[in-house]
Structure 1
Amino acid sequence: MSEQPAASAPAAVRPQVVAHRGASHAVAEHTLGAYLAAIDEGAEALECDVRLTADGHLVCVHDRTMRRVAGSPAAVSTMELAELADLDVASWKHPWADLDDEAPERVAEHGKVLTLRMLLETVADLDRRVEVAIETKHPTRYGGLVEKRLVELLRDFGWDRADSPARVMSFSYTALQRTQRLAPELRVVQLVDKAHHWPMLRRVVGRDWVVGPGIAELREHPGLRRHLRGREVHVWTVNTQADLRLCQEMGVRAVITDRPAYVRSLLDG
């Protein structure tokens, strides 16, 4: 009897490449410059964190205070947009750039605090579809007002419906519940930073919710990988070939990375 050919392995899934805070490996995070670089590098989606200022504007900032990126100890929630606009949030990334004759010339507006509205306007003006993954940060003094303002802003763009290029992410289950009450058709992503949180979360998150675990938890906890089978999974922060391969083997639908050009090069050969 002749030997039968071995069954071929299933084709690896090609996940969406999501730029984590923009092309943040090379350019200061959450700046317009970082997002324009990510778009130029072919990112298929952009990830950002949002916080609410004292005068009610959503800005793209990760930390509670501006100490790390601008040297100011002030909390974002206590500052008005005009105060934030005076800060340089890019120089920390390349502090010696002014001494480098070959460094590209800085565009001042590309290194300022970015409003979410400006980011969405940038995306809306593109000639190709680029999605936006927006993480609301909690806890915050403004509580549910963050999600309320976010949905209002998305509604201004007509992006509060099922075909929206935007999705809302949070580690806070309550925040995502609020989002769904305000915009039932929007996709939401339940972020997971500890594998041992999932047994509790799996009892309450909707079957149509996306799950967003960190890559370290997937690497170190095979049980979590098994429990996520059959769900749509988006993973953060994927910066190496080995981690990307793990995500592909799992069938992960989106990888959030500081290095969108590098990850695209791995995926596209």
Structure 2
Amino acid sequence: MRPQVVAHRGASHDTAEHTLLAYTRALEVGAEALECDVRLTADGHLVCVHDRDLRRTAATRGVVSTMNLAELDQLDFASWKNPWAELDDEAPDRDPETGKVLTLRKLLETVADHGQGVELAIETKHPTRYGGLVERRLVELLADFGWDGRDSPVRVMSFSRTAIARIRHLAPDLRVVILIEKAHHWPLLKQAIGPSWILGPGVTELQDHPTFAKALRKSGRDIHVWTVNTPEQLQTCLDVGARAIISDKPAYMIQLLDAQNGGRRYAR
């Protein structure tokens, strides 16, 4: 069975990451899951933003955790991706609303409305000034959609083992992914993680450390790999038996996989 193709921050190679436009583009090209990072605003809203500060994606020195949602809503999160668009007469018109800060609630609504079995991989970012409140607010929001149980289309990811343990405590039936940044973390990590936790290694670590890749495959756990954008990286994932690949280029990954699998798609 071929791996699930997960759109990393949406179709982020071609479109500004974490914007509504990035996610709708990902759905249009057939991504089977959407990945997002979440942070908590000063007034308690979960928003889809990767960096703690906004210099890269919104051209301001503001920090997400110190700003209210209304303040973030005034910022442009899309122009950085194509700063010369206003000078390009052939550039397509863009609805400004699709380039604003995206709340997790809005993304969940988008997935719910899509109605074709699309899943969500939500990463909670740590360290953060709010600590475990992020996971608590996340589970509360998922409960609003009825997505905090065994049949949820959502899985929660983090590099923080403590954060994953919180999710397990708050919503025991949710699928969880422990992200692995460095291969040398594995010998200790494997002794401290739960029996059903999914493994989330980076593809470069798998390529640079074949012994690490072999150990993960021998573990018998599901493996979800990030961030996979080339044919060589995809082959690494197939060799390790990955069940999901997280890519900035979901359309390209789907094309490569469909060519190998005769059009057979991922099935959960």
Q: TM-score scaled to structure 1, two decimals?
A: 0.95
**Are 2:132 and 1:132 aligned?**
no
Identical residues among aligned pairs (%): 67
**Count of matched residue pairs:** 257
- Written as runs of structure 1 = structure 2, the 5 A alignment for 1:101-250 is 101-229=89-217, 230-250=220-240
1:139 Cα deviation from its structure 2 partner:
0.3
**Are 2:250 and 1:264 aligned?**
no
1:258 alignment partner AA:
D
Question: In 1, Cα distance between the equivalents of 2:67 and 2:211?
Answer: 43
Question: In 1, Cα distance between the equivalents of 2:229 and 2:183?
Answer: 20
Residue aligning to 1:66: 54
**Are 2:45 and 1:57 aligned?**
yes
1:211 alignment partner AA:
L
Question: In 2, Cα distance between the equivalents of 1:165 and 1:14?
Answer: 18
**Are 2:13 and 1:28 aligned?**
no
1:196 Cα deviation from its structure 2 partner:
0.6
1:248 alignment partner AA:
L
Mean Cα displacement is larger for which, 24-33 or 241-250? 241-250
1:246 Cα deviation from its structure 2 partner:
1.3
1:89 Cα deviation from its structure 2 partner:
0.6
Superposed CA RMSD: 0.6
Question: In 1, Cα distance between the equivalents of 2:56 and 2:75?
Answer: 12
Q: Tell whether the 8 Å contact from 2:203 to 2:236 is kept in structure 1 after alignment.
A: no
Q: Secondary structure at the match of 1:125?
A: helix
Question: In 2, Cα distance between the equivalents of 1:208 and 1:225?
Answer: 19
1:185 Cα deviation from its structure 2 partner:
0.0
Question: In 2, Cα distance between the equivalents of 1:206 and 1:217?
Answer: 22
Question: In 2, Cα distance between the equivalents of 1:141 and 1:219?
Answer: 34
Question: In 2, Cα distance between the equivalents of 1:150 and 1:207?
Answer: 23
2:45 alignment partner AA:
H
Question: In 1, Cα distance between the equivalents of 2:52 and 2:253?
Answer: 29
Question: In 2, Cα distance between the equivalents of 1:249 and 1:176?
Answer: 27
Q: Please identify the structure whose Cα radius of gyration is greater.
A: 1
Structure 1: 4+ residue segments shifted above 2 A: none
Question: In 2, Cα distance between the equivalents of 1:117 and 1:178?
Answer: 20
Q: Secondary structure at the match of 2:24?
A: helix
Residue aligning to 2:2: 14
Residue aligning to 1:7: none
Residue aligning to 2:68: 80
Q: Secondary structure at the match of 1:92?
A: helix
Question: In 2, Cα distance between the equivalents of 1:234 and 1:180?
Answer: 18
1:127 Cα deviation from its structure 2 partner:
2.7
1:50 alignment partner AA:
V
Residue aligning to 1:4: none
Q: Secondary structure at the match of 1:46?
A: strand
Question: In 1, Cα distance between the equivalents of 2:55 and 2:74?
Answer: 14
Question: In 2, Cα distance between the equivalents of 1:38 and 1:179?
Answer: 27
Question: In 2, Cα distance between the equivalents of 1:198 and 1:83?
Answer: 41
Q: Secondary structure at the match of 1:167?
A: strand
1:150 alignment partner AA:
L
**Unmatched runs of 5 consecutive residues or more in structure 1:** 1-12
Q: TM-score scaled to structure 2, two decimals?
A: 0.95
